[in-house]
Structure 1
Amino acid sequence: MLDRFNEAADILQLHTSLRQKLQRPEKQVTVNFSITLDNGEEQNFEGYRIIHSTALGPSKGGIRYDSDVNLNEVKALAAWMTWKSAVTGIPFGGAKGGIICNPKDHSRSELEKITRAYTKALADTFGPTKDVPAPDMGTGPDEMGWLMDEFSLLHGKPIHAVVTGKHLNAGGSLGRVEATGRGVSIITLLTLEKLGYNNDKTSVAVQGFGNVGLHTALYLYEAGLKIVAVSDVNTALHNPEGINIPELILYSNLHGKSITGYPKATVISHNDLLLLNADVLIPAAKEDVITAANAHDIAASIIIEGANGPVSSDADEILKSKNITVVPDIVANAGGVTVSYFEWLQNSLAQSWPVEQVNTRLEAILNKSFADVFATALQYNITLRTAAYVLAVKKVAQTHQVNQAVAGKQNFTQN
């Protein structure tokens, strides 16, 4: 990601001091705390919260529970959230948090204790107008509910807007569960329209059939596109005539959330799915699945990044040389953070929006974001990824420029 930031910073001719400022987090907090396990033993945990930027508003970003969490990873993800919020046009900065633990090793009561202890340790960092967490790897609505409850207890009143990704009965938003997949489908359709494709003649391969991949495939199927391949962690399926996605979802639900054994498609390898001759490839599972090792063999004309970082930086130039259009993650999968913003806004205003209002507003924001990125790409003759970073970095830099001007300091561009 730093390479992509530096490319945008070069185009914008950012002053060295501001470039360095935007590369570094505003604040990084390391905490350690102990809980009593179910067996009566005490265990200590280390956690982090990185505030990369609050230039555009309260910092926003998830909390992950994973045994491999480390400070450098969290710092990079916090910066990524800054650029995603900025290019999407929502009034948030970027943050990220994590605790070094494997949630599968702990009972529900232990996870609650971990979450509450982490919240206490960061009570001065979190806040609806300061830093607003959300779920990430290894966390979900339960953890966000415990965080909200603990933060509210510490402040003596309910404060729903301190966190997003909550259960509906705890102040969550309608439309949040499917928001990322809906957003990916919206961006896919906008890309096809811009490039002159007809929906009913467009084939799509979706890598991943979790929350994001499933909803992406469903909405594109409903829009008339032919979904020729999907995969989950165990199985990749291909049918050149198209897969009936509602039927596949039903099959998955009846078979333990697995598509293994679905009879109306051929089993292929996960790598072969990435190389299929489909019009659109949507990697919606994990990072770095398209690298310099396989980028030369990608046959799709369009890649929509449903996952975070599915295309490595060393693959960018290869895909560009093949004239493959890549819509970057900070644009393509911004539906989740956008509806998180809606949840925060509803909580702050003591409102509850109908799902139709959530979806209409989501589509309007993503339409504008995509249009701005596409126009910037044409203006500078750069890729959509670079254009997205140029827009995001420029927005944050200009905010700093205004602040510096008020303080009588120098411009953000070099003389």
Structure 2
Amino acid sequence: MQTLSDVVRDVAKKEGLSRDGRKEGPFRGLMSRWRRRESGIELLRILAMLMIVGHHCATHASIQLDILPPSAFRFFMLMQIPFGKIGVALFFMISAWFLCEAEDPKLRQSLRRIWNLEREVLFYSISIFILCSLLDVQSSLTNETVVFSSLFPIASGNWWYLTAYVMFLLLYPFLTIGFKKIGYKRHGIICLIFLVAWGLIYGMTGLGNMNFSNYSFVYFVYLYILISFYRWYMKPLSTKAAMLFCGVGTLFVVLNVAIRDYVPMDLGFIENVDHNRLFLCSEGKAPIVLVSFGLLILFSRWNFCSTFINAVSSATFGVYLIHEHFSLRDYLWSDELYPFSKLIVSDHAILSCIAIIVLIFIGCIVIDIVRQICFVICVDRKADMLFDMLCNDISSSSRIRRIKKRFVDKYLRENVDEPDDNEN
């Protein structure tokens, strides 16, 4: 049963009013949304996206690291590879940090999140497609593939993180309810199995075929299992323990990159090391998870509120969508925009790369802030009403109810035993 405050909030939301009954303008609503965020966590989200942009600079720019001799610049660029993996883990962990707090998550809530993502993604996908067509920016894909990918970006996997995250959101309500049902002991056993398998056996030795290939959403499930167990059952780690996690993980990463950078290539014991992944620097590796988890704990304890930081953080997903679009990616990191190949002989190569990363980040932030303002004025309220209307029509459909009663409910009664809530 809804309380009076819930009714007031729902009515105010539909009518565009604040809680005190005054008309709430679009900009005031946007500012209110930014102020509600925890700035410590949001600052970490900004740092994570900067790491991701730096990773793309190292992997997409026309800088041939293989032919460079060991140097500070080469070491700096190689370090962007594990930094990007840490950034991806952090970006998802921040979402999981808040998602696992829901007492009774519903599929409709996940669908609403996907709906909100979809309209932002479609905006960028179609806008960038039109812009690149007008500017005659060439793509490595065929015209038919470009059109299909622009109209159906999630299904086509234009942005691997987005597709994997949407798949996770569809499973998230059931994962959360399921892990709460099995209780502390079984949840802990699953965490232990994953930590041994991916954290030690694969995470530290590389043995077995247990990597998260093709950027699977299973990686997100793995991280969510760990985060949810910590949030639900464990005592908060001390600041010293979190710093130890960061230190140990960073030590392993730096040693791995240093060995890859300075040890001669003719030594047999590193010939099997993948240059793009390195050895301890890919998804799910123990050092990556240690650093990410330690940073999340540290920044979550930094309690302050900054509207500026929160506003910038709200646009970080837009940074990813813009600079990692398949049509813009090659152009942004090509010599046509900036002569990356000349950095090899530059005395300020590291500073130049940092400047490029920051400029791309700031430019994308400004674009997405403008997009948010336009959406608040023209799109958000109508899109929310359309989503509610579609969900209500589908849920109230007599045909849907008959199918559910005839097949789903009947199958559950005949094939699924009721769990024993006391058994953990």
Question: TM-score per shorter chain, which class?
Answer: under 0.3
More strand per residue? 1
Report 1 or 2 for greater relative contact order, CA contacts < 8 Å, sequence distance ≥ 6: 2
**Over alpha carbons, which structure has the higher Rg?**
2
More helix per residue? 2
Give the TM-score, by structure 2 length.
0.26
